[in-house]
Chain A
Amino acid sequence: MKREKGNVFVIPAIIWIFTFTIFPLVYSFRVSISRISYGKITGFAGLSNYVRMFGDYRFWGTLRFTLIFVSISVVATTFLGLGLALVFNRKMRGLKVFRSLLTMPLFTAPVALGYLGVMMFYEENGPVNVLLKYLGMGKVPWLSHPWWATLAVCMVDVWQWTPFAFIILLAGLQSISDEIYEAAVIDTSSGWTVFRYVTLPLISPVLGTVLMLRLVDAFKIFDVPFSLTSGGPGTATRTLTFYIYTQGLRNFDLGYASAMAYFLLAITMMIGMLFFRRYRELYE
């Protein structure tokens, strides 16, 4: 009887899950197999929206850019975050101040960072090009050349998310007890060997968490290319989310947008599943 009463408290959670997870999921799937005109479902489209996706060169173009962006951004944020965490995982003066300053970009809205990037990467005497000129380098077409624009988008994202990797990895490093290092130092004097065979295995679950969260988040990137490059030049920096947004909310082609959104969901779910399979023992 007591247990039955306790079950009542699960009801709000069930309502929440149905309202905000199950219903949108089911409804958006229905939309993805429907014909839509000005926001209203007008008929059954079957799998035509999914078929269309695979024959759409723009879809493949945005997917290609998304994969490039994810690769550069995730690798760079993780390496930089780890590097910074290793640097700051020692006793030094002013550590707290540095840590606070380092984490500031993390608390800034991505869209604001994008607009800030427009000013920073402004080709005609913007601060970045002025600095490069001061260093004796040429003017870089940050926002008007496809490859440089790709790099600019990645740089803004890395700028924002490196502090995230830094905080998590620093916490991981600080959880390793000093005794382990003291024992390791008896066996070797090489810092690299200690890092390779002691530090890295011990922070591996934390590193995995950082990688998974960054991967999932990077696949959903929208704000930075939206505000920094508007997806251009051409479609050079148009991400899959940007394309979904354009098709769904600007062109009101909601069926097609939903089909692509399902594709994106499948990718991110696969990453999540791989992660949970790899680190299952930690969560059970």
Chain B
Amino acid sequence: MRKMSLVLSVLVILSLLFSFSLVWAQEGASELEIKTADAAFEAADKGNPDPAWKGQKLTIGVYSAGPRGAISGPLYFWRPYFEKLTGATYDIVEIPFAELREKIFTDLMTGTGTYDIIVGPSWFYGDYISNDWIVPSDKYLNDPRMPKWEPASILPPLQELYSWGGKWVGFNNDHDGQVLYYRRDILNDPKWQEEFKKETGKDMPVPPKTWDEVYEITKFFHGKDWNGDGEPDYGITMHLKVAGQGFFHFMALSAPYVVAPAPGDDPNKVTRYHNVYWFDPETMEPLVNTPGFVEALNMLLKLSKTGPSAMWGWSLGEAWDAFLRGKAVICFSWGDVGSLSQLPDQSSIKGKLGVAPIPGSEKYYDLETKQWVEKRNFVANTVGASWHGVISKFSKNQDLAAYFLSWQATPPINHWNVVWGWTGVDPGTLYDLLQPTGKSTIEEYVATGYEAEDAKQFVNAYEEMWYKYPLKQSYLRIPGTPEMWEIWDIHLSEAVTGQVTPEEALNRTAEDWNAIIDRLGREQLKKIYQEAIGYKPE
């Protein structure tokens, strides 16, 4: 009897703690957040939830950042709303970035079905699809029980990340691509422009259009006390720690040096030598050690010397923080920086934010002629995770999982997640872009605390990159991608910390990638790669 009462007491305490955690998750929210979230909840389509779902429970595996952190945060925030809607609930299993692959793939490989939903990165698709591990979202698009979301609203380069072979697989959530952030107040300051001209003999290019221009600016500002705090400040800030997602910087930076436009009428045509970034589509030989990449890595090294040496040990948070608290004049990163810059508790640069599309290069390497072409080149990117939900094939609650993900994908809820910086959900749909291209208005952003000019710069930079840039960098979605990127990450870190030369780092990457390709099957990967980038052998 005593044992029984002890067990009951423990259960009561645990359930109380659990209930409090729900309240705490909501308690971290401001009144404005709650008010706007309530409005979004009312406005969102709710479909027709099945009464049989009442009392059921899902488990969601998600990148770990806590109840008020990126990507995992919105799951905590919206849980009480979901319970209100369906009578069902879900557990959130947070998985650290470095352990995502082992936890998720092991679950799928063994068919355990721990996670009904996986809110994971887009680079898992090669393994998801080739192993038939997930249930496509296509199946639910016309299901009357499901809330209506708008796949067509997702901007075209990002649509590719959510689909496979022309079918929708994932559910709309986050949209990643890197753009350039700079201090508008400092770069536009006549005093600094005059100083720049005196020192370099040139006008300061504002905003910088190419990586060479970025370097000129960061080199000029690095070590000067341009923010007036009595200490020298930085030119640039990046996250370059191994396993700190720093390799995405290099991906975005290297694209214009590597991706060459096709000759003829259609510059976007994918040929063996044009509009390819990862591999030679005929041989699956890695391109990662070709001259374009080497040139780009040398540029990354030059840039990294115009920032704090500490950033070689920084992950995302530290690098963003240096820019947000006004210590670095430039950074290039995801949409998070744009929205976080508007949060007074995390940023001192609200009203001072300048944003430009990702810079281009002054030249690019032509793989066909094996020569450099001295011409400016601009390439849009979708680098990053574009974190979004997929349904595990081993889930026993697939319909309920689809309901939750469809509801989160509806324009009002998704757009709410986008405008609040702490959610880590970045813009990438028509209803995030400003009119006339998009459906949103500047007033919508201002109503949630944005400074108008900052919001305009932020959203328009993405619009320009994804709509007006002539070329785009392909995304890698073949089996083995996570392993290849991890290896790349390590070798890039070796290069930036001076352990090996850039050439050696990239040669090592190519060698390791070749070993993976041979291990997983070169012919099979080649076929998937060709399909993924739209290459048709002639």
Q: CB within 8 Å of B: which residues of A?
A: 38-39, 57, 122-124, 141-146, 149, 226, 229-236, 246, 249-253
Contact = CB atoms under 8 A, between A and B. Distances in A.
A44 to B, nearest CB: 16
Given A234-B490, A234-B491, A141 B106 contact: no
Contacts of B240: 144
B36 to A, nearest CB: 35
Contacts of B499: 146, 233-234, 236
Contacts, number: 93
A226 B243 CA distance: 10
Chain B contact residues: helix, strand, loop or mixed: helix
Contact of B105 (A143, A145, A234, A252): A252
A234 B241 contact: no
Contact of A235 (B110, B241, B314, B490): B490
Nearest to B491: A234
Interface in B291-317: 308-314
B242 A143 contact: no
B282 interface: no
Contacts of B243: 230-232
Contact of A230 (B106, B242, B310): B242
A253 B499 CA distance: 26
A72 B314 CA distance: 26
Given A230-B98, A235-B490, A236-B499, A38 B109 contact: yes
A105 to B, nearest CB: 23
B242 A141 contact: no
A221 to B, nearest CB: 17
A247 to B, nearest CB: 9
Contacts of A253: 519
B102 interface: yes
26 contacts: A38-B109, A38-B131, A39-B110, A57-B508, A122-B310, A123-B308, A123-B309, A123-B313, A124-B318, A141-B309, A141-B312, A142-B313, A143-B241, A144-B312, A144-B313, A144-B497, A145-B497, A146-B499, A230-B98, A232-B243, A232-B493, A233-B313, A234-B490, A234-B491, A251-B486, A252-B109
B319 to A, nearest CB: 11
A233 B494 contact: yes
A144 B309 contact: yes
B394 to A, nearest CB: 14
Contacts of B497: 144-146, 232-234, 236
A234 B242 contact: yes
B154 to A, nearest CB: 30
B241 A124 contact: no
Contacts of A236: 497, 499
A137 B243 CA distance: 30
Contacts of B490: 231-232, 234-235
Contacts of A252: 105, 109
Nearest to A141: B309
Interface of B: 98, 101-102, 105-106, 109-110, 131, 240-244, 308-314, 318, 322, 482-483, 486, 490-491, 493-497, 499-500, 508, 519
A39 B309 contact: no
Contacts of A39: 106, 109-110
A190 B241 CA distance: 52
A144 B490 CA distance: 13
A145 B499 CA distance: 9
B316 to A, nearest CB: 13
Given A250-B483, A251-B483, A234 B494 contact: yes
A235 B490 CA distance: 7
- In order of increasing CB-CB distance, the 4 nearest A-B pairs are A232-B242, A234-B494, A143-B313, A144-B312
A20 B486 CA distance: 33
Contacts of B131: 38
Contacts of B309: 123, 141, 144-145
A235 B494 contact: yes
Nearest to A245: B102
Contacts of A232: 241-243, 313, 490, 493, 497
A36 to B, nearest CB: 10
B313 A249 contact: no
A250 B101 contact: yes
B241 A230 contact: yes
B102 A249 contact: yes
Nearest to B500: A234
Given A39-B110, A253-B519, A144 B242 contact: no
B110 A233 contact: no
Given A141-B312, A149-B313, 10 more contacts: A123-B313, A144-B314, A145-B309, A146-B497, A230-B243, A232-B241, A232-B313, A233-B242, A233-B493, A250-B483
A212 to B, nearest CB: 32
B514 to A, nearest CB: 14
Contact of A144 (B311, B483, B491): B311
A99 to B, nearest CB: 35
Nearest to B322: A124
B106 A231 contact: no
Residue with the highest number of chain B CB atoms closer than 10 Å, among A144, A229, A236: A144
B310 A124 contact: yes
Contacts of B495: 234
B358 to A, nearest CB: 25
B134 to A, nearest CB: 15
Nearest to B101: A250
Nearest to B479: A38
A58 to B, nearest CB: 8
